[in-house]
Amino acid sequence: MAQTSTTTAELLEVPLEARPKHIAIIMDGNGRWAQRQGLPRIEGHRRGVASVRRTTEECARLDIEQLTLYCLSSENWKRPQRELEFLMHLLEQYMIEERSTIMEQNIRVNVIGRRDAIPDAVRREMQKTIDLSAANTGLRLCLAINYGSRLELVDAVREIAEQVQGGQLEPSAIDEETVRKHLYTAGMSDPDLVIRTAGEMRVSNFLLWQISYSEIWVTDHCWPEFRESDLHQAIRDFAARDRRYGGLTG
C-alpha cells in the first residue's frame, strides 16, 4: 500500500465520529528492520518500544478510545532464549518507566493473554501499572502478551462448559454474547481498525473473534519505522471506507 504524508492539520479534518474508536495493531518487523540496518535483532525490539510510545501518545491525543497492541504471541516462545529474555526486560522496563506518562495522559492499561509464562518480576510491575491506572478515564491501552486467539477461545469454551456442567447455564442459552463475556477482552469493544506493519497479509492468530468486521490496513513499514504519519493515513483511509457489516448501502 502506498504511503503518503499526512499532517496533523489535515488529519483533524476527519471528524471524531468518523475515526475508529478502537485500533488494534500487529506490530511486526522489528527483527527484519534491525537486520537491514546491520544491527542485532534485539535492537529492533528496543526501537520498537519508541514506536509504542509515539503511537500510544498520538492515539490519546486524537481521542481514540482504545489501542490494542500485539506485543508477544503465544507462538513467540519458540524464539531464542536470549531474545525472549530481552523482550521480558523491555516489558518490565516499559511498565516502570512509562507509569508517569500513563498517569499524566490519563491512560488506563490492561493486559490480555496467559500470564503464567511471564516471569514473576515482570508480572509484578505489570500489575502495579494496571492497578495504578485503573481509575483513569482516557485511552484504554490493551497489551496482548503471551496471547493467542485460539487459546483464548479454548479458555472461553472451557469456562462455558464448566458452567453448563455445574448447572449454571443451559446449553440452549449459549449465544454469541455468552462467548463474548468469556473472552479475555470481555467488557471491551471490538476493533474498528486493524493495522499490520511489515507488509504481511495475515492476522497471525490475533483477536480472531473480535476482528470479524474490522477494517484491515497494511503498511510496508516495519514497526520501528511506524510514525504518526502512518497512523494518520490509516485513520484517513478508514474514514473513507464504506462499512456495511454484511448489508447493503446506497
Domains identified in the chain, total number: 1
Establish if 184 belongs to a structural domain. no
Q: What is the 3-state secondary structure (H, E, C) of 4-20?
A: CCCCHHHHCCCCHHHCC
Task: Give the pLDDT confidence score for residue 245 in this predicted structure.
Answer: 62
Tell me whether residue 56 is in a domain. Answer: yes
pLDDT on residue 226: 98
Q: Is the pLDDT of residue 78 over 90?
A: no
pLDDT in tens, 166-181: 999 999 999 999 999 9
Mean pLDDT of 90-109: 96
Q: Is the pLDDT of residue 244 over 90?
A: no
- At 246 the pLDDT is 61
Residue 75 belongs to some domain of the structure: yes
Distance CA 68, CA 51 (A): 14
pLDDT of residue 243: 74
Q: What is the pLDDT of residue 2?
A: 39
- Identify the pLDDT of residue 5: 47
Is the confidence at residue 207, as pLDDT, over 50?
yes
DSSP state letters, 35-59: HHTT--HHHHHHHHHHHHHHHHHHH
Residue 4 pLDDT more than 60? no
State the CATH number of the domain containing residue 111: 3.40.1180.10
Calculate mean pLDDT across residues 120-148.
Answer: 97
What percent of the chain shows pLDDT beyond 90?
A: 86
In a domain, 48, yes or no: yes
Selection from 122, 25, 145, 26 nearest residue 76 by Cα: 145
For the segment 90-103, the average pLDDT, to the nearest whole number, is 96
In DSSP notation, 151-167 reads HHHHHHHHHHHHHHHTT
- Residues 194-214 have a mean pLDDT of 97
Q: What is the pLDDT of residue 247?
A: 60
The mean of the pLDDT values for the chain is: 92
Cα angle, residue 60 at apex, residues 97 and 90 outer, rounded to 5°: 25
Look at residue 216 and tell me if it is in a domain. Answer: yes
pTM of the complete model = 0.92
List active site positions: 28, 76
209: exposed, middle or buried (C-beta count within 10 Å: 0-12, 13-18, 19+)? middle
Predicted pLDDT at 153: 98
Q: Does residue 68 belong to any structural domain of this protein?
A: yes
More confident residue, 11 or 104: 104
pLDDT at 152 over 60: yes
Question: What is the arithmetic mean of pLDDT over 208-230?
Answer: 97
Query: What is the structure's pLDDT at 43?
Result: 94
Lowest mean pLDDT among 109-123, 179-193, 235-249: 235-249
Helix axis angle, 120-133 to 81-97, nearest 10°: 30
Of residues 216, 182, 213, 185, the one with CA closest to residue 199: 216
pLDDT at 250 over 90: no
Owning domain of residue 55: 18-147+189-240
Instruction: Answer yes or no: is 107 within a domain.
Output: yes
Pairing of strands 22-26, 66-73: parallel
Say if 236 falls within a structural domain: yes
Which pLDDT score, from 0 to 100, does residue 10 have? 56
CA dist., res. 55 & res. 64, Å (int): 11
Q: Which is nearest to 140 in space by CA: 178, 177, 106, 90? A: 106
